[in-house]
Amino acid sequence: MSSFEQRVEPADKRYQYLLFACDPYEIIAFKIPNEPIDKQEGRFVSNWDKETKKFTLQLYFVEDDGMDKDTSETSEPEEVQERPVE
């Protein structure tokens, strides 16, 4: 789900939401980076274990080649500012 479809937090195009639904429980969502998900063989794996009733999902984001369209190899790295944990 895109951040523009949800109504709990202000929309932020940097994130998307991964939703899980299972009756009779409520839907839960995980906020993840808005990056393309790699769906190649072995890179997007889900499993439902009926005995333990556990669902497992493993996913990878598409690897970035390190080159942005707007920057060159000689550009300085961006300064990262720490935010306090709320």
Q: What is the pLDDT of residue 58?
A: 95
**The pairing of beta strand 37-38 with beta strand 44-49:** unpaired
Residues 43-61: tens digit of each pLDDT: 999 999 999 999 999 999 9
- Count of beta carbons in the 10 Å neighbourhood of residue 42: 8
Please state the pTM of the whole predicted model: 0.59
Specify whether the CB–CB gap between 32 and 18 falls below 8 A. yes
Residues 57-73: tens digit of each pLDDT: 999 999 877 655 554 44
What does the CA dihedral 81, 36, 61, 82 come to, rounded to 10 degrees? 10
